[in-house]
Amino acid sequence: MATPERRTATGTPAVPVAAQAPAGPVPVMGPLGWLLIMGSGVGLILASWLLYGTEYDGMWAGYRDGIIATIVVIAAMALNTTLPKQPILGLLGVCGILLILFAVFLDNETAVFISEIVAGVVLLSGVALYTSGRK
């Protein structure tokens, strides 16, 4: 014999409704900031290899920007580890400020000036977006 089923109230849905997640900020800013940080480092490395001249000023600008870009790429990779983020973001901010200051105050050719300004602004924007996207 079959056991009779108890009917539910008429307003109760047959399938339970899943609880909806609360609406909050979409976690897009952090990864976008990281992408800008990594892009500025890789772009500066490529610019120092491809755009800078081989004369005295271009050579030293290539050394200086190559070191800063290597630090930026390593720090961007370190942001994806369990290391504390604040010192790494501070280091990236200092690198961005240094790039802008080098571009403004050193007398270099136009390619060096443009690449340092662009890399510095993109780096600082990436740090700001990465910081704003973290909880």
Q: Is residue 60 part of a domain?
A: yes
Whether residue 103 is contained in a domain is answered as: yes
Tell me 80's DSSP state.
T
Residue 87: C-alpha distances to residues 30, 70, 91 (Å): 16, 17, 6
Is the residue at 122 inside a domain? yes
Each residue's pLDDT tens digit in the chain (135 positions)? Answer: 666 666 666 666 566 656 666 655 557 778 899 999 999 999 999 999 998 888 888 899 999 999 999 999 999 999 999 999 999 999 999 999 999 999 999 888 899 999 999 999 999 999 999 998 766
Residue 95 domain-assigned (yes or no): yes
Entry pTM: 0.77
105 inside domain: yes
CA count, 13 A, side-chain hemisphere, 22:
2
Q: Does some domain include residue 8? A: no
**Amino acid 52: pLDDT:** 86
Domain count, the chain: 1
| Residue 113 within any structural domain of the chain | yes
Domain-located, residue 35: no
Domain residues for the domain of 109 are 45-132
